[in-house]
Structure 1
Amino acid sequence: MTDTPTNALPILRFIPFRRRDIVTMCEQEGGLSEEQAEQFRQANALIEDFFQRDFHAIKQRLKDAYAPLDPDADTRCTAVAAQNPDELSQTLASVLNRGNYEKVTEEGLNAAFESASLFNIRLFVDLNDFDDVLLYTRGVSERTETLSGPLGLFSRTVTFRNFDRVVLYIRFKSDIDENSTLGGCRPGATMLKLFKDVPEADLEMLFPNTRIGMRFRDKLLIGIPALISGGVVLTTKVGATLLLLGSLFGFWLGLKNEPVTLDRNAVLALAAGLGALGGYLWKQFSNFRNRKLRFTQALTRNLYFKLLDNNAGVIHRILDDAEESECKESTLAYYFLLRAGEPLSAEALDETIESWFQERWQCTLDFEVDDALNKLERLGLAEKHGEGAWIAKASSANSR
């Protein structure tokens, strides 16, 4: 049996190649004269230098905004370092957008929560435990896995969406309940997590207050054998004890006139029956607890291999991702404008780049041509020529 998603995969902005590889790919593509090739190298150096300086300034702002909220900080916070979580979340959202991360909407998150988990467990998350939650993903693919059925009697193949990268931003409430699953977290702190290879249906497992529940099938697997064995225990080992207890209670309540004699054999039978009943109940409780423990271990093992970074480390990673993305987009737009040798419209440039990736590298993406051209214009590397057409310019020392 195969379960297949109903919606097609979206075409994303992310360019799945490294910045240095993009430069090499352009150089190997050719189509430039020696003078143009030198012009391309100078422009690329200017692009890298500009965004390196730009993101260095952003990094300092993010570090300052996150310092008083970092749960892992080993430095002291002064009164001057006031907490400003809104500045942090807004700057973080801007950087993630520049790094081609896509924000998961509230509707998308609720849909993921309602989907069946691929790990054969039920997960519950209460978002009311947090003051603010942001979830961003980058890169999506369709994967297929074979899941085993109950008792391994049969299996089914499922096709699901998988996110290459997931960034989770959580700000804890300042009044965390001591009995909450978040009791070990510092009130008001902000947590950042970066994960890889996360199925869309299992986004719940990334949250720190995830609770594991038993599915209906799991309850049946425990409940039906428990009822059957319980009936056997009641009829074979506890039947005499129940009759004796019924007689005692009936006499004490005045429902029977004949007294019940508790001799040595009766007391031993009563103790043996109660012991058998207690042992049976403890065994069923242990079965339930062990099954839930196996689910917890499966969740822990899965997260162990998917976690890439925590807190301040996430900031450095996404800053590098955003810098790479800005450089790649600018480099591609400049190269194809330069190679054209004549003014190109934004639409023509966009189609040229997307077709190049599709035909040359078997990669489908949505190139952000307007954003790329605006960056080149800001750097003085491109200008509008006529109505809606763009042309490449040589880099200059005065470019900003």
Structure 2
Amino acid sequence: MSLQLEKARFIPFSRNDIVRLLLDEQQLKKTDRKKLKDVCDLLMHVYHFEFHQSLETLKECYAPVNPDADTKAVFSANKSELKEKEKRLFEALNGLLDKANFEKITDKDLALSMEESSLFQIKLNVDFDDFEQVLFFRRGESKRRETLVSMLGLRKKIIEFINYDRVVVIVKFKPQSYFDAKERGQLYFKPGSTIIKYFRNIPRCDLEMLFPNTEVRMKPIDKAIIAVPAAVGGAIMLATKLGATLLLCGALIAFWSGMRTEPVELNQANLLVLAIGFGTLGAFLWKQFSNFKNRKIRFMKTLADNLYFKNLDNNMGVFHRLIDAAEEEECKEAMLAYYFLLIADKPLSADALDQQVEDWFKESLQHVLDFEVDDALQKLVKLGLVSSTASTYQAVSLDQARKKLDQQWDDYFNY
């Protein structure tokens, strides 16, 4: 069955490239192109300032549950204040991710992804009871192919899978009392804390490897690879190297249990046979245990290597990345909507504007986009860059747009 991709609202081109493309359209006179560049620059500065306040809110609300904090708390918050900050944190994060055009991965989507076979051919186990809250978000989606090799390279299989370009994971752990009750002593995370992870290029079928408490488990085939040779090797060893030892042990057990009347002489030769036999058995068992541990270590290394190169940022650092991503998306949407309204020869409806922008992306960049026209128009209305009737919108002139954005900037600090 062919995998289907949905139209995405994320614009996978940089703001600078979008501006350059619009200026290269030659739809405006040279002097007006300079004014359009000014409008785009002012938009960037306006959104940069407004999102800075969002960053400060996130930092304030995250401080009590930040596991990486290197500052000492001067003022302690009570339970109700902590709850309020936690609520504000998750609301701010959800809003920021939405503005950065991330899509939420629902519990149903996550369950379906965990049913799919892992691309890295390892079995993972996640204890969901450790978490109070789990949120996954994704941005950018593509179809990819990978060749899986098995049976010592004798078998190759090409699989098609959906890859997420960016994934954000937000996990809040349960408090210390929960882990104490389960007698979980050695923990690699701070109970009660909230961790935020940012990853790149994650196959949908391997989302479970992003959980912080993931454990590597062996598949039945992996257990068989260890068990079958061990059973065969054990049978051969019993028949060839432990025969004398088994006979001597059997004679001793029979004598001690009363099934044999003739005593067994434990001379130097017999003791040497016992020592060699038990030494051989111990070495064999240790080898099989080492095979099991080494195979599990290889699986854990595979998991660690993949996460190491796919991890982009953690905790507080993720805020800065998301703020930058949201600024970019908000700017691009506003610039595109304003430009296409500006060059139109008549006022446009939201649907007509939406179609023009999406057609431009398809023709100029060969990209299918689900442009967020309603959100873009709301931004322009708020900034005073369009005039509207009941059903149509028209851009104000470039001179007016520059004045309004300049006034917006001046009014941020009006003492």
Q: TM-score range by the shorter chain?
A: over 0.9
Deviation at 1:132, TM superposition (A): 1.2
Deviation at 1:181, TM superposition (A): 8.5
Name 1:167's counterpart in structure 2: 168
Q: Which of 253, 261, 286 in structure 1 is aligned with 2:290?
A: 286
8 Å contact kept, 1:251–1:259: yes
Shift of the 276–106 alpha-carbon distance from structure 1 to 2, 3 Å rule, reads: same
User: Secondary structure of 2:152's partner?
Assistant: helix
8 Å contact kept, 1:212–1:295: yes
Name 1:146's counterpart in structure 2: 147
For 1:51 and 1:156, locate their aligned partners in 2 and report how far apart those are by CA, in whole Å. Answer: 48
Deviation at 1:180, TM superposition (A): 4.2
In terms of mean alpha carbon deviation, does 249-258 or 60-69 score higher?
249-258
Shift of the 138–242 alpha-carbon distance from structure 1 to 2, 3 Å rule, reads: same
Aligned residue pair count: 395
Deviation at 1:39, TM superposition (A): 5.2
Deviation at 1:184, TM superposition (A): 3.1
8 Å contact kept, 2:140–2:164: yes
User: Secondary structure of 2:200's partner?
Assistant: strand
For 1:37 and 1:180, locate their aligned partners in 2 and report how far apart those are by CA, in whole Å. Answer: 64
8 Å contact kept, 1:43–1:381: no
Name 1:23's counterpart in structure 2: 19
Map 1:1-400 to 2 at 5 A: 6-33=2-29, 36-37=32-33, 40-80=36-76, 82-83=81-82, 84-175=85-176, 177=179, 180=184, 183-385=187-389, 387-394=390-397, 395=401, 396-397=403-404, 398=407
For 2:59 and 2:186, locate their aligned partners in 1 and report how far apart those are by CA, in whole Å. Answer: 25
8 Å contact kept, 2:3–2:161: no
For 1:159 and 1:288, locate their aligned partners in 2 and report how far apart those are by CA, in whole Å. Answer: 31
In terms of mean alpha carbon deviation, does 240-249 or 194-203 score higher?
240-249
In terms of mean alpha carbon deviation, does 152-161 or 226-235 score higher?
152-161
For 1:276 and 1:38, locate their aligned partners in 2 and report how far apart those are by CA, in whole Å. Answer: 85
8 Å contact kept, 2:65–2:194: yes
For 2:193 and 2:74, locate their aligned partners in 1 and report how far apart those are by CA, in whole Å. Answer: 16
Deviation at 1:261, TM superposition (A): 2.8
For 2:65 and 2:4, locate their aligned partners in 1 and report how far apart those are by CA, in whole Å. Answer: 39
8 Å contact kept, 2:3–2:162: no
For 1:23 and 1:294, locate their aligned partners in 2 and report how far apart those are by CA, in whole Å. Answer: 48
User: Secondary structure of 1:29's partner?
Assistant: coil
8 Å contact kept, 1:332–1:353: yes
User: Secondary structure of 1:196's partner?
Assistant: strand
For 2:173 and 2:74, locate their aligned partners in 1 and report how far apart those are by CA, in whole Å. Answer: 21
For 1:13 and 1:280, locate their aligned partners in 2 and report how far apart those are by CA, in whole Å. Answer: 59
For 1:277 and 1:210, locate their aligned partners in 2 and report how far apart those are by CA, in whole Å. Answer: 35
8 Å contact kept, 1:36–1:338: no
Deviation at 1:136, TM superposition (A): 0.8
The alignment yields a C-alpha RMSD, in angstroms, of 1.9
For 1:304 and 1:136, locate their aligned partners in 2 and report how far apart those are by CA, in whole Å. Answer: 19
Name the aligned partner's letter for residue 87 of structure 2.
Answer: D
Deviation at 1:357, TM superposition (A): 0.5
For 2:296 and 2:185, locate their aligned partners in 1 and report how far apart those are by CA, in whole Å. Answer: 16
Name the aligned partner's letter for residue 108 of structure 1.
Answer: D
8 Å contact kept, 1:181–1:209: no
Q: Which runs of 5+ in 1 are unaligned?
A: none
Name the aligned partner's letter for residue 128 of structure 1.
Answer: D
Shift of the 39–344 alpha-carbon distance from structure 1 to 2, 3 Å rule, reads: farther
Shift of the 300–89 alpha-carbon distance from structure 1 to 2, 3 Å rule, reads: same
For 2:239 and 2:190, locate their aligned partners in 1 and report how far apart those are by CA, in whole Å. Answer: 54
For 1:162 and 1:287, locate their aligned partners in 2 and report how far apart those are by CA, in whole Å. Answer: 33
User: Secondary structure of 1:194's partner?
Assistant: strand
Deviation at 1:264, TM superposition (A): 2.2
For 2:359 and 2:260, locate their aligned partners in 1 and report how far apart those are by CA, in whole Å. Answer: 93
For 1:180 and 1:331, locate their aligned partners in 2 and report how far apart those are by CA, in whole Å. Answer: 53
Deviation at 1:209, TM superposition (A): 0.9
Deviation at 1:38, TM superposition (A): 5.2
8 Å contact kept, 2:386–2:395: yes
Deviation at 1:318, TM superposition (A): 0.3
For 1:312 and 1:240, locate their aligned partners in 2 and report how far apart those are by CA, in whole Å. Answer: 67
For 2:250 and 2:97, locate their aligned partners in 1 and report how far apart those are by CA, in whole Å. Answer: 70
Q: What do the CA deviations read for 1:62-95 (whole angstroms, capped 9, x no partner)?
A: 1101112111111111335553222211110110
8 Å contact kept, 1:241–1:269: yes
For 1:374 and 1:181, locate their aligned partners in 2 and report how far apart those are by CA, in whole Å. Answer: 52
Q: What do the CA deviations read for 1:141-175 (whole angstroms, capped 9, x no partner)?
A: 11111121122222111111111111111112112
User: Secondary structure of 1:378's partner?
Assistant: helix
User: Secondary structure of 2:24's partner?
Assistant: helix
8 Å contact kept, 2:3–2:143: no
Deviation at 1:42, TM superposition (A): 4.5
8 Å contact kept, 2:102–2:138: yes
Aligned-residue sequence identity (percent) comes to 46
For 1:73 and 1:275, locate their aligned partners in 2 and report how far apart those are by CA, in whole Å. Answer: 53
8 Å contact kept, 1:138–1:166: yes
Q: What do the CA deviations read for 1:306-353 (whole angstroms, capped 9, x no partner)?
A: 111111110010011011100100000000011112111111111111
Name the aligned partner's letter for residue 172 of structure 1.
Answer: F
